[in-house]
Amino acid sequence: MGCNIGKTDQMARFILGILFVLAYFLHWTSGSLSLILLLLGIIFIITAFIRFCPLYLIFKINTCNNNK
């Protein structure tokens, strides 16, 4: 499992993840949308930290500059 998320992609995922989690806890949304945003936020934060996205692997996308 190598890196397939670049720095810009990583920062965008982390910021979106934080915003989605905040939307849930600060009640910016309600109902099913809030749970979906919470789950997406958690997934974005995790993939930003490990710098690997399983969907990128399936679609053969690689935004990482160094191919380890």
34-60 confidence digits (pLDDT tens): 999 999 999 999 999 999 999 999 999
Write down the residue that tokens 């934060």 correspond to. 45
Q: Which of 11, 9, 10, 29 is nearest to 21 (CA)?
A: 29
pTM metric for this prediction: 0.89
Location of structure tokens 């930003």: 48
Task: Quickly state the pLDDT bin for 65 (edges 50, 70, 90).
Answer: confident
